[in-house]
Amino acid sequence: MSTSNSRPDNSIWSRVGNHVTDKAQATPSFEIWGIVSDRLNVAKYRPRRISDAEIADVSSKNGTKQYMLRNPNNNQYLKLGEEELFLWDLMDGKNTVKDLLLEYFSKYNEFGQQVLLALIGLLKNNGFLQDKVHPVMRLISAKMQKRKFLFFLVRIFKFFIHQQYTTNRVDKYFTWLYRYFARVFFTRAGIIIGLIFVLAAPVFFYYLFFVKQTGLLLTANLGHPPSSLDVIIAILLVYGSVFLHEMAHGLAVKAYGRKVLRFGIVMTFGMPMPFVDTTDIWMKGRRARIVVSFAGPWFNGILSSLLCFIGLLLPDGDIRAVVILSGMLNTILFVFNLIPMFESDGHYIIQDYLGFPRLRSESISFVTREMWKKILHAEKWNRKDGLLFLYGLMAVSGIVLMTFLGINMWFSTLRGLFNKIASEPVLALEILGFLVLMTLVFSFVRNGFRFTKKRARIKLPALD
């Protein structure tokens, strides 16, 4: 009854079908829908791992087997358990997902669908499999979001809270510095001498601050009233000390033969700070990670004692005051970075020593949720619960304290600034000029990082 059969079917699927039918006469085993079905069938997927991945044994102190997987092509890292490593070794492009599940069941006597699928997802997203991932919907969504004004405001907020501008072409410079300058600090003699300086740092600070009544304001130490010069000098000294602190982390990585991945600037609550990516040390053991975390405060302690000692030998004057102030600020950085209340070097040292890779997040989760459930149901606490409670209490207190100090600092600064502008309107033009200058500097630095990244991706042809 239908008239559709009287019309030739010129649809694209009809033409594809006719084409496949014609080809199938020459190759009867070729079936396009069978291939499509196989491609959409997860059980028949054959994951193939990249051939140049690096694996390191980073088992924890309590004996739990853990392995760190590194992708040298994009410097991505994944921590695997014993079961995940077993599956990783089988991903040679020949075994299907079904084969992997059968092998997993044969070895561990249980089905590992969730373990395998989660592992494949992580491997795909981080480039450890030879399949290319094309997140089309995510890219389209990101493109559409960029047109919204709210997205622009969110980007500004993220920029001030946490934003990184780095370059990945710094490892050769750290290698040179370690080879020709810093190697001596990691010898036995260098460690012993460094320990003496580190232990002397709090002694110098106590003598200067409490006995000699040396303050942290340069103008006050010189007998002048406090001024904006105090803030400028303090900022320069702190930035210089933090820069050397981060350099020490990177040099410690080179001491263990690993790679410094990135170096640059990270924005933290609107303040730009130097930053060194030491992730590659995860390919070494627990001791190496502790040494790298401690290297920054260690160098601040050495520098503090050295500057305070030199400052005490100098005659009274501006140079002596600046040197002593720099030494005292390094003592503060040394102590502050070892306090585990914040996400500091001290936190990472304790985390690696105890063998809890997620100590901070687990402890905060325990204090805010799990602890109250245990109290409500009168459950008995174990040793781990007590540890999570104590550390969670410190972590939450640190978050509250840092938030309070950050808000108070910006509120006090802005209030004082507005009062100053009200009495001296010309100051507004000076501030505007300063912001324009900082914008130009920031734009120059950002474009410089982008240029180095773009240049690193360009492969020049070989010259004959």
pLDDT in tens, the chain (464 residues): 444 444 444 444 444 444 444 444 444 444 555 555 555 567 788 899 998 999 998 887 667 788 999 999 888 999 898 999 999 999 998 898 888 988 888 888 888 888 898 899 899 888 899 875 555 555 555 665 555 556 666 666 666 566 777 888 899 999 999 999 999 999 999 999 999 999 999 999 999 988 988 877 766 666 666 566 666 787 788 889 999 999 999 999 999 999 999 998 887 666 778 889 999 999 998 899 999 999 999 999 999 999 999 999 999 888 898 899 899 999 999 998 998 877 889 999 998 888 777 788 888 888 888 889 888 888 888 888 888 898 888 888 877 877 776 677 667 666 766 777 777 777 778 777 777 776 777 667 667 766 666 665 554 444 43
Find out whether 277 and 261 touch, Cβ atoms under 8 Å. yes
Structure confidence at residue 24 (pLDDT) = 41
Q: 91 and 66: one domain? A: yes
Token pair recorded at residue 409: 């600092």
Structure confidence at residue 288 (pLDDT) = 94
CB atoms inside a 10 Å sphere around CB 178: 20
Q: If you write DSSP's letter for every residue of 142-155 in order, what string do you get?
A: HHHHTTSHHHHHHH
Q: Using only C-alpha atoms, what is the Rg of the chain? A: 30
Domain boundary (111, 132, 153) is at 132
Asked if residue 459 belongs to a domain, the reply is no
Domain boundary (287, 314, 341) is at 341
Residues 6+ apart with CB under 8 A from 282: 56, 58, 68, 70, 77, 79, 289
Find out whether 57 and 11 touch, Cβ atoms under 8 Å. no
> Which residues lie across from 86 on neighbouring strands?
none
Residues 6+ apart with CB under 8 A from 112: 83, 87, 101, 104, 105
Q: 276 and 337: one domain? A: yes
Total domains, the chain: 4
Find out whether 314 and 322 touch, Cβ atoms under 8 Å. no
Give the domain range for residue 366: 356-452
Greatest distance between any 2 Cα atoms in the chain:
111
Report residue 337: phi and psi, to 5°: -70, -15
Find out whether 456 and 166 touch, Cβ atoms under 8 Å. no
Residues 6+ apart with CB under 8 A from 300: 241, 244, 245, 330, 331, 333, 334, 337
Asked if residue 216 belongs to a domain, the reply is yes
Using DSSP's 3-state secondary structure scheme, residue 80 falls into strand
Find out whether 113 and 92 touch, Cβ atoms under 8 Å. no
Using DSSP's 3-state secondary structure scheme, residue 426 falls into helix
Q: If you write DSSP's letter for every residue of 342-387 in order, what string do you get?
A: SSSHHHHHHHHHHT-TTHHHHHHHIIIIIHHHHHHTTPPP-HHHHH
Q: 190 and 303: one domain? A: yes
Q: 35 and 80: one domain? A: no
Whole-number Å distance between alpha carbons of 387 and 382: 9
Q: 192 and 301: one domain? A: yes
Closest CA to 278 of 303, 323, 245, 304: 245
Structure confidence at residue 278 (pLDDT) = 94
Beta strands in 127-282, from DSSP E residues, in sequence order: 162-167, 262-268, 271-277
Residues 6+ apart with CB under 8 A from 246: 263, 274, 275, 276, 296
Q: 406 and 430: one domain? A: yes
Q: If you write DSSP's letter for every residue of 273-317 in order, what string do you get?
A: EEEEE-GGGGGS-HHHHHHHHHHHHHHHHHHHHHHHHHHHHSPSS
Axis-axis angle for helices 318-336, 228-255 (nearest 10): 50
Counted residue by residue, the chain has a size of 464
Structure confidence at residue 219 (pLDDT) = 64
Q: 361 and 221: one domain? A: no
Q: 309 and 188: one domain? A: yes
Q: 188 and 65: one domain? A: no
Domain boundary (291, 316, 341) is at 341
* C-alpha of 315 from chain center: 44
What letter does residue 92 receive in the DSSP assignment? B
Report residue 196: phi and psi, to 5°: -65, -45
Dihedral Cα 310, 313, 316, 322, nearest 10 deg: 10
Asked if residue 113 belongs to a domain, the reply is yes
Token pair recorded at residue 305: 């004692």
Asked if residue 306 belongs to a domain, the reply is yes
Token pair recorded at residue 142: 């990101």
Q: 105 and 218: one domain? A: no
Q: 169 and 32: one domain? A: no
